[in-house]
A and B are shown apart, each in its own frame.
Chain A
């Protein structure tokens, strides 16, 4: 026993000695590197003479930080990592019983979303809930729905679409224009907007059927820009960059959300507040998003969904099995576009105002980034990615304490894209296939085993 204790003790002291040695070395290297950069600073004095400022204390801080960092790295971080790796290797996924939470993630998530508005009202009051339901809930769910829609095209069929926002725009303008010119209600126009977007999906699909990969991406990108430019320049109909404003609100079975005596608040005997409309919108987009998920799950188990995935895996093999790849691609574009159209008409009814500003390429890129981050094809992964990405950028607005550190001119929102990009790099290094890299098979004989991401292909156009 004493023997063992002494060997561990000697190993420990050896490690400390090595850490100290390496710390000294790195201190020396830092000193050598920074002695001219930091230690000495040339400056001009009041008579325009060149003088040399000596900043030894700053240099000392640099060196100390490097030494302490190296010491901690060698003495504690590296052994800890090695130990964790060894433990992982020793126990190779034997008892990998999934926890209750991860097994029932989708059910728990849906329940949490349904209970979200009442909980928020209980916590922050009716007026206080506005920000949390609208900025966080509705905003995130719009992106969840868009990303789920794009997932059909990119994740399942493997067709890289950089112009998805075009269908979002078609949906939004369909509702905005048809309701303001013809006075039709939201519930009539919701399916109409979806159908129109699906039509445009087919219109885009036809010319790009022959294209693959990068070429397909460029053409879809151009398509997105064309739609936006038409919206800007067709001023007689779309009012150009001014946008369409005063778009009618949605109603709940004919009940309006306004101050009239037939309004929702009056009928329910509640105090007048715009929060009720926002909560109604929250449930509306939740319903639409769940519809998207339901249809996607259903479609994956149908021949058309399997054909989409087969198309992503190998198009030539698909053709050799008698699958009409033309119609298969077109249905993927149309279905994806339809959900984009639904989301667009919801966007119009929520904002009450649409302008081409909302449908720039950046939106397409963000939606695509969510799909890629979440793991192509996985609804759960995409949901998590949307919450992290959109919720994360919204939270930046809340971080007012940063103003105290960086000064009053600091606006954290401006760093949105920087952080977005940084997060993407981190996730892609850590999980190259997105949050959920594996694929759930659509049919099984004995047991359902997830297909590892290393077998699935990303599609080639």
Chain B
């Protein structure tokens, strides 16, 4: 059994250090640190209200953390301090894309248009910030064609190609989830953050989602960070699991390790009164084994 806390990941794409987020008197996240390795699928799990989505919002710039540092290292070696960037630049420059827990699509636009909106920045440049495009320059026409092709590629991957010309609001729930992932991929991210992608999916859809995520990683080398409640998804596809409870990290390691960690079991299942002592003993044991690496 290896406790992987604070072991240096070889090539971290995302490094979160001492992240804290305070809402008034509530400490939603308290001194939380973890690393996500490049090319890995990292899962962030924890009971309801543990602060998972808050961590996501800090990473993607929707919240400004009270304390801490979030470093994104791209393949090219460029580093971005995400807590200093405004939210849209995190996608635009740092190449971190995200989806939402309660799906946010452009429901009145067609599925294809949703994916074209995601390629805004690329197209904006190609259209010479609208001026050249308005005058009908060929550069924009070519870029528009390319972006449609990219959209078609992701529609095929997400098996939405048949619904490409339908309004996004008309899709069934599972397809909307896939559309959101396809849309995020159209921004060309290096790190894809998924907030509960399997929520509300039936087992078959959830299996298809796993395959989609695996193939995204295999084909584009995109690293994935996901929040998930569905343990079958987490255990099946993730390489690395981080467990959060009451804003603090309680476990961090590969899926097998986390699954058997008594703290995680206690956090998820709760324990009877007489078992508490037992659990505490186990925890003390583990901590002494590892020289109290967990603070």
Contacts and interface: CB of A to CB of B under 8 A. Distances in A.
Interface in A353-380: none
A377 to B, nearest CB: 9
Contacts of B187: 321-322
B118 interface: yes
B105 A314 contact: yes
Interface residues of A, number: 40
B34 to A, nearest CB: 22
Given A307-B120, A317-B105, A451-B109, A445 B127 contact: no
Nearest to A442: B113
A303 to B, nearest CB: 4
B259 interface: no
B108 A317 contact: no
Given A321-B118, A455-B170, A443 B87 contact: no
A71 to B, nearest CB: 45
A447 interface: yes
Interface in B142-192: 144, 148, 152, 155, 161, 164-170, 183-184, 187
Given A304-B124, A443-B116, A445-B165, A322 B106 contact: no
A397 interface: no
B112 A314 contact: no
B223 interface: no
B117 A321 contact: yes
A321 B108 contact: no
Nearest to B103: A317
Contacts of A102: none
A266 interface: no
A442 B166 CA distance: 12
Interface stretch (B10-18, B37-45, B90-98): B90-98
Given A322-B187, A443-B148, A313 B134 contact: no
B139 interface: no
B130 interface: yes
Contacts of A446: 164-165
- Residue from B87, B100, B166 with most neighbouring chain A CB atoms (10 Å): B87
B88 interface: yes
Contacts of A306: 109, 113, 116-117, 120
A320 B87 contact: yes
A55 interface: no
Interface in A297-345: 298-299, 302-304, 306-307, 309-310, 312-314, 316-325, 331
A313 B187 CA distance: 18
A309 B168 CA distance: 13
Contacts of B127: 302-304
Given A313-B109, A325-B88, A441 B120 contact: no
Nearest to B114: A310
A309 B106 contact: yes
A232 to B, nearest CB: 37
Contacts of A295: 134
- Residue from B90, B99, B118, B164 with most neighbouring chain A CB atoms (10 Å): B118
Contact of B104 (A312, A320, A441, A455): A320
Nearest to A331: B130
Interface in B117-142: 117-121, 123-124, 127, 130, 133-134, 140
B110 A441 contact: yes
Contacts of A457: 107-108
B151 to A, nearest CB: 8
A449 interface: yes
B88 A323 contact: yes
Interface string A248-283: 000000000000000000000000000000000000
B104 A317 contact: yes
Given A446-B165, A447-B165, A317 B106 contact: yes
Interface in A437-461: 439, 441-449, 451-452, 454-457
B106 A313 contact: yes
B164 A441 contact: no
B89 interface: yes
A442 B110 CA distance: 9
A313 B167 CA distance: 12
- Residue from A310, A319, A320, A447 with most neighbouring chain B CB atoms (10 Å): A320
A275 to B, nearest CB: 36
B97 A302 contact: no
Interface string B77-94: 000000000011111100
B117 A449 contact: no
Given A451-B110, A455-B107, A303 B165 contact: no
Interface in A113-131: none
Given A310-B109, A322-B187, A449 B133 contact: no
Contacts of B133: 298, 302-303
Interface of B: 60, 62, 87-92, 97-100, 104-110, 112-113, 116-121, 123-124, 127, 130, 133-134, 140, 144, 148, 152, 155, 161, 164-170, 183-184, 187
Which 10 pairs of residues, A with B, have the shortest CB-CB distance? A456-B108, A322-B91, A322-B92, A313-B106, A455-B169, A317-B104, A303-B123, A445-B164, A455-B167, A451-B167
Interface of A: 295, 298-299, 302-304, 306-307, 309-310, 312-314, 316-325, 331, 439, 441-449, 451-452, 454-457
28 contacts: A298-B134, A299-B134, A303-B119, A306-B120, A312-B108, A313-B105, A314-B104, A314-B105, A317-B100, A320-B87, A320-B184, A321-B187, A322-B120, A439-B108, A443-B113, A443-B116, A443-B144, A444-B165, A445-B152, A445-B161, A447-B165, A449-B165, A452-B167, A454-B169, A455-B108, A455-B167, A455-B168, A456-B108
Given A303-B116, A455-B169, 6 more contacts: A306-B113, A317-B104, A321-B118, A322-B89, A322-B187, A444-B165
